[in-house]
Amino acid sequence: MLTAPLPRGDGLALWRQIASRLEAAITSGQLVAGARLPTETDLAEALAVNRHTIRRAMEELTGRGLVRVEQGRGSFVAEEVVEYPLGSRTRFSEIIRAQSREPSGRIIRIAEIPAEGRVAELLKLRRGRAVVVAERLGFANGRAILLGMHHFPAHRFARIAALLADNPSISAALAASGVPDYRRQITRITARMPSPEEAELLGQARTRPLLLAEAVNTDPEGVPVDVTFTRYAAGRTQLVVEGA
């Protein structure tokens, strides 16, 4: 229980105990993401400690990203932020699972279109050559994290539309198409506001920005197999670049 009496003098600082209880309440799902915490005064009273002690616990939790405090409004359980590493072996499902969340995906659209400017250039195709575009939502624990737009050269990956329709995993589809391994080459990152459809698909307010990443995946021989433009829900995602 959140308000059970706190043992004192056990060598465990009160603020630590309080932080642990709140953390347990959050990770157990008793307090869901976005939920409002009791006011500091209420907590202090219920636990029979000074408000400073509560604040020290809050500081700990905000520092670890579990709680978000807004002056004058209250304290809230932080929405879960997925840390998305941008290494060369980035695989959506592995990343999500590494953070003990359940990955899933949904294909929004598959089409074959002629390659235009940027895509043709990055795939090293002539303008007008056919590419398969696949738009795909990626979820962690059922919550939309990213919206990827993949472009595969149609001549090499003729079957990929059918494969993706069957299983929305990009790496599985590439593996079944004879590319068991690939690496990410360069990612350019910027941000912009979402279109109404993007906000809708990502389940995000239209007033919150998107992170955009552009990446080229190449097979072991260095041939581009996939040009991807990914839109991340900025509030729920943090891209992590390993330095050096």
Partner DNA sequence: ACAAATTTGTTCGTATGTATG
Partner DNA sequence: ACATACATACGAACAAATTTG
> Which residues are near a copy of itself by CB under 8 A?
59-60, 62-63, 81, 83, 86-88, 116-118, 121, 183-193, 207-211, 215, 234-235, 237-244
Report the C-alpha gap between 135 and 76 in whole angstroms: 33
Report the C-alpha gap between 170 and 163 in whole angstroms: 9
User: Tell me, what DSSP letter sits at residue 36?
Assistant: B
The interface partner of residue 242, options being DNA, a copy of itself, none and the CB cut-off 5 to 8 Å by kind, is: a copy of itself
Q: In terms of CB distance, is 29 or 117 closer to a copy of itself?
A: 117
Give the shortest CB-215-to-a copy of itself separation in angstroms: 7
Structure tokens given for 161: 């539309």
Q: Which residues contact 241 (CB under 8 A, 6 or more apart)?
A: 85, 86
Q: In terms of CB distance, is 30 or 195 closer to DNA?
A: 195
Report the C-alpha gap between 160 and 214 in whole angstroms: 21
Candidates 24-32, 69-77, 96-104, 181-189; binding stretch for DNA (CB under 7 A):
69-77
**Contact pick of 5, 9, 29, 142 for DNA (by CB under 7 A):** 9
Counting contacts by CB under 7 A, is residue 49 touching DNA?
A: yes
Report the C-alpha gap between 173 and 177 in whole angstroms: 6
Tokens 């700990």 belong to which residue?
60
Binding site for DNA (CB under 7 A): 8-9, 11, 13-16, 37, 39-41, 48-50, 52-53, 55-56, 58, 69-75, 126-128
